[in-house]
Structure 1
Amino acid sequence: MAELPLPATRPLYGWSAEAPPSLPARFSSDPRRPLFSIVIPTLNQGAFIEDTLLSILWQGYDNVEVIVVDGGSTDDTPAVLERYRPWISVLISEPDRGQSEAINKGFRRATGSILAWLNSDDLYLPGAFRTVLEAFAAQPGGRWVIGSGDIISADQQFLRHVPAREGSAQTLLAIENDCFLLQQSCFWSSSLWQEAGGQVDESLSLLMDYDLWWRFSQRCTGIVTQEKLGAMRYYATVKTRRQGERFPAELATIYARYGASASLDRLVQRLLAEKSALGERLSTLERQLPVRLLRRLRLLPRP
């Protein structure tokens, strides 16, 4: 099978544009080695999903199960998926109720011992799979690898680095201080996934990963490595920004669910204060606007 070259006009963040790795002829399914099951939920990400797939294919590890769940894309996504079909173990293309349901559909088809999902505009970085395998091998009882990673722009410019942190309740409660686990750099065992419920919460649109980390943290704190495993794209139309108003409500739900009463109280008080401040600003604006308009129309003398 012919190798697919990296598009020269779109170099892949973190990878060498001069000598990109060759693609495996096909993925194997060798029961003697750990099998990665990577779920890719997607919808109309034709501009990015080829990069996502290449970042998996270039890992240099061929015992991989790629599961793509397309919610019914109408852009170039189906054409890209068809091009890479030989390396896609499972392709589900049908309408869904959002990203969380797509993730669950994918994991229901997963057979690997190491699991992760990668959004179709994000990337794995060079050596990610090797680092994960080494981390699990170094700690045979380990069930969750947490790496560091980068946040990049749509055109793959570096924005910020996200260090790895342990998966403890204390770490998770620091989310309001912009401390979080980078989902693109987390991998876990299939046994941990099943013990933690075997699904993400489909009522959550933004923080389904954060809710999952809470369930994982009740069973282990993870193997932390500062090696960079993944990169997350952040841009104007990314879901995190488009649906940002849902963040406080979902965070409050998770705080309540896991007994973080003090954090929930602080969040509620902060939101009430913000609402009160907004109400006062609107009230002030309402009082000022008519006066300003009258003066602009010269129906009221200037002071």
Structure 2
Amino acid sequence: MAENTSAGPLVSFCFTTFKRGAILRSTLDSIKLQGYTNYEVIVSDNDPEASGRSFVESMNDRRFKYFCNGQNLGMKPSFNKSLERSSGEYIVMIADDDPVYPDMLQTLINLKNEYPGYGMYMGGCDWFCADKEVAKQYKLDVGTNSCISNEHDLNFVQVFSTSDFIKNLFTFKIFSHFLWSTCIVKRDILISLRGIPDYGTPFLG
């Protein structure tokens, strides 16, 4: 779905990367296949040698924007650099190894339009475990694991207050179905929080 972009992108994909150019490029390719097109991609590279630059520039798309941090800031500070550099109303905080399905954005935009006024919209996801060690760590199978809940019908929508969402997240009632790469979050919320806090683990922020 094309949209008038004169006011700027509605969504910003915010990346951090570090010396994983081929993996990054694969995820960027998946974003370029989005049916919904009013977005930008911000890549903040923790490699001082700017090894990710060529992979981003090879997209040949002005929506894909590359920035070298000049030093390795660490994962969360680099994500926050991407947030600072973004201009979308909504943010997708996306890891460089999290490819997305072509209908991801359109699905979330439809959800936003049907349920206006919320700060975050989230969809289901698949987890891919490349080997037995990774699968064992997450108690999943090798290969693709669907994390869509089997407790509800397909396209079921559940609405949470802020407090209920936090409670359900930290009691692991929604964690197995949740990845930050499958959410759009209002940028002004993240800015008001001064970005993503760093608790020493990629799973908390």
TM-score, structure 2 normalization: 0.75
Larger radius of gyration: 1
Q: State the Cα distance separating 1:52 from its structure 2 match.
A: 0.8
Instruction: Tell me which residue corresponds to 1:199.
Output: 195
Identity in percent: 21
Supply the distance in 2 between the matched residues of 1:75 and 1:190 (Cα, whole angstroms). Answer: 27
Deviations 1:5-56 (A, max 9, x none): xxxxxxxxxxxxxxxxxxx9xx98332x861111111001122111111111
- When the two chains are superposed, the root-mean-square deviation of aligned CA atoms in Å is 3.0
Q: Which has the higher contact order (CA 8 A, sep 6+)?
A: 2
- Of stretches 134-143 and 185-194 in structure 1, the one that deviates more from structure 2 is 185-194
User: Which residue identity is paired with 2:197?
Assistant: D
Does the CA-based 8 Å contact 2:36-2:103 persist in structure 1? no
Q: For 2:97 and 2:19, locate their aligned partners in 1 and report how far apart those are by CA, in whole Å.
A: 10
Measure how far apart 1:85 and its partner are. Answer: 4.9
State the secondary structure of the residue aligned to 1:175: coil
Aligned residue for 1:62? Answer: 37
TM-superposition CA deviations, 1:246-281 (whole Å, max 9, x none): xxxxxxxxxxxxxxxxxxxxxxxxxxxxxxxxxxxx
Q: Which amino acid aligns with 2:38?
A: N
1:104 aligns with 2:80: yes
| 1:154 CA drift (Å) | 4.4
Which segments of structure 1 move beyond 4 Å, counting only runs of 4 or more? 73-76, 164-167
- State the partner residue of 1:146: 122
Q: CA deviation at 1:97?
A: 2.1
Whole-angstrom distance in 1 between the partners of 2:95 and 2:119: 22
Answer yes or no: is the 8 Å Cα contact 2:57–2:64 preserved in 1: no
Residues 1:79 and 2:54 are matched in the alignment: yes
Preserved CA contact (<8 Å) 1:40 1:117: yes
| Match in the other structure for 1:184 | 181
Note the residue ranges of structure 2 that are not aligned, 5 or more in a row. 132-141, 150-157
SS at 2:73's partner residue? coil
Q: Return the alpha-carbon distance in structure 2 between the equivalents of residues 98 and 192 of structure 1.
A: 22
Alpha carbons of 1:83 and 1:134: their partners in 2 closer, same or farther (altered >3 Å)? same
Which has a greater percent of helix? 1
Closer/same/farther in 2, CA of residues 112 and 50 from structure 1, 3 Å limit: same
TM-score by length of structure 1 reads 0.52
Matches within 5 A, 1:17-56: 29-31=5-7, 35-56=10-31
Q: CA deviation at 1:73?
A: 6.5
